[in-house]
Structure 1
Amino acid sequence: MTRPAVLGLDLSLTSTGIAGAGWADRLVPPRGVDGLPRLRWIRDAVQDNVGDETALVVVEGLAYSRTTGKAAERAGLWHLVVERLDGVVPWAQVPPTARAKYATGKGNAAKDAVLAAVVRRFPDVEVTGNDQADALVLAAMGLDHLGHPPVVVPAAHRVSLGAVVWP
């Protein structure tokens, strides 16, 4: 049975993580592109990576508890991207705590703990930052949901799949 094409997206204003089975990358807006043009650039770059063969896009939900600033812009980005995906490709929303639990077994795991777990669990994928690690976890969750887990994940980690809003 052929593995479906699933994309994981860790949306960010500076470096959006994007990943699929066996790969991880980032989408970085050009310098000097700010505000709404930046959000549109990221939305369009995501859309450019969604092909006819894409079976599912898994997007990290908004982290309402974050205090890193630009909350309105981050929320605007999330909604622009999801609006573009909606009706074109099935998409799922993963709470940040579910992403962390799937990767590490702890919903409150720090970003670097997720990165370390991803590097251990996916040794054949070059992952150089938290954005790529998060996107790879999201893609893995989507593949697992569709019955094609790319790696073995402990049952206690897989419980987090139940917190996801699947299409």
Structure 2
Amino acid sequence: MTRFIGIDYSTTSCGIAIVEAGHWQTFTVKSKPTSGGLSAYYARIQDLGYDIVATLDLRLGDVIGIEGLAFAGRGSSVDRLHYAWHRTVEFLTKVNHAEPLVVTTNQVKQLATGKGNADKDAVLLATERRLPQADVNGNDEADAVWIAVGASILAGTPVIDLPAAHMPKAFTKGLS
């Protein structure tokens, strides 16, 4: 049976959700900022990737979804986040032998609430109401649940039925 995995990526607190045959598991993988310059940051991001993969306990056929980040702004902090996200996606692709499916922040919100501009608390509330079996602890895990839902839809095997208003247009292109 296919497992669908959602990752709400962050360099400090990654929400993770795994669903298989209607059974949900949620986790949070934390990473603390360190001092020591760029090489310490690179090592921390590598360790975070290892921690995520260890938490996932990947299996052949797993479908991974990851939140796509909007890299707005300029400067070293944006550059570092850009590097971290891409490095993690590259690592997940190598380990899972398949590139993760990207679900944008607005798509997460629309899947959960029907509105692409909903706030994080609305997503959390929608998760608690629509998917109480996911038993989430906080916004990161709630987002990860909807990323897993999005990955299942993108893979052609939705794990839940959603009203039409909750389906992002990018998910329905080409469907008849």
Whole-angstrom CA distance in 1 between matches of 2:51 and 2:7: 11
Q: What's the counterpart of residue 37 of structure 1?
A: 43
| SS at 2:91 equivalent | helix
Q: Larger RCO: Structure 1 or Structure 2 (Cα < 8 Å, ≥ 6 residues apart)? A: 1
Give 1:38's aligned amino acid. Answer: R
Cα contact 1:6–1:142 (8 A) shared by 2: yes
- Considering only CA atoms, is the larger Rg found in Structure 1 or Structure 2? 2
Given the two structures, how large is their TM-score scaled by the length of structure 1?
A: 0.83
Q: What's the counterpart of residue 157 of structure 2?
A: 148
Whole-angstrom CA distance in 2 between matches of 1:163 and 1:18: 25
Give 1:47's aligned amino acid. Answer: V
Give 1:106's aligned amino acid. Answer: K
| SS at 2:51 equivalent | helix
1:28 to 27, 30, 49: 30
1:135 to 144, 149, 157: 144
Q: What's the counterpart of residue 9 of structure 1?
A: 7
Whole-angstrom CA distance in 2 between matches of 1:40 and 1:71: 18
Q: What's the counterpart of residue 58 of structure 1?
A: 65
Unaligned segments of structure 2, at least 5 residues:
none
Cα contact 1:99–1:160 (8 A) shared by 2: no
User: How far did residue 93 of structure 1 move?
Assistant: 1.0
Unaligned segments of structure 1, at least 5 residues:
none
Give 1:60's aligned amino acid. Answer: E
Aligned residues with identical type, % of pairs? 30
Give 1:29's aligned amino acid. Answer: S
How many residues get paired? 161
| SS at 2:17 equivalent | strand
Given the two structures, how large is their TM-score scaled by the length of structure 2?
A: 0.79
Give 2:15's aligned amino acid. Answer: G
Cα contact 1:101–1:160 (8 A) shared by 2: no
Cα contact 1:95–1:163 (8 A) shared by 2: no
| SS at 1:74 equivalent | helix
Q: What's the counterpart of residue 118 of structure 1?
A: 127
Greater percentage in helix: 2
